[in-house]
Amino acid sequence: GAVVSQHPSWVICKSGTSVKIECRSLDFQATTMFWYRQFPKQSLMLMATSNEGSKATYEQGVEKDKFLINHASLTLSTLTVTSAHPEDSSFYICSAPRRSSWDYEQFFGPGTRLTVL
């Protein structure tokens, strides 16, 4: 089946630094990818839609200047958490839709655990 990878799988950084998380569709092309954030014991919360070749679309309440998204190719989207603070510590998950026999199927990456000290 289709695979979506994320790198790194976990990262620990100091407060005030920036962290980049990569999301790759390994065996299919994705003009659209989605970024989610998940806090402990909570559901996934959609942060933004990453569009290849154009600006990302952010959900209400998500700071676009803090969470920079770049979808530079049909297989790669990056999420940069700028000036990270402890409250940004979370599990970040990306997904990419791929055409299936009946419709589209969303494939999720394994997630990236961010811990900001």
Partner 1 sequence: LAKTTQPISMDSYEGQEVNITCSHNNIATNDYITWYQQFPSQGPRFIIQGYKTKVTNEVASLFIPADRKSSTLSLPRVSLSDTAVYYCLVANTGGGNKLTFGTGTQLKVEL
Report how far apart the first and last C-alpha atoms of the chain are (Å, whole number).
Answer: 37
Cβ distance to partner 1 smaller for residue 12 or 104? 104
Q: Does 36 participate in binding partner 1 (rule CB under 8 A)? A: yes
Query: In Å, how far are 8, 54, 57 from 84, measured between CA atoms?
Result: 16, 25, 21
Q: Does 60 participate in binding partner 1 (rule CB under 8 A)? A: no
**Six-digit token pair at 29?**
């092309």
Nearest-angstrom CA–CA distance, 23 and 76: 6
Q: Does 49 participate in binding partner 1 (rule CB under 8 A)? A: yes
Cβ distance to partner 1 smaller for residue 79 or 93? 93
Q: Does 62 participate in binding partner 1 (rule CB under 8 A)? A: no
Q: Does 66 participate in binding partner 1 (rule CB under 8 A)? A: no
Q: Does 105 participate in binding partner 1 (rule CB under 8 A)? A: yes
Q: Which stretch binds partner 1 (CB under 8 A): 12-20, 64-72, 81-89, 91-99?
A: 91-99
Site of interaction with partner 1 (CB under 8 A): 4, 6, 31-32, 34, 36, 43-46, 49, 91, 93, 95, 97-99, 102-111, 113
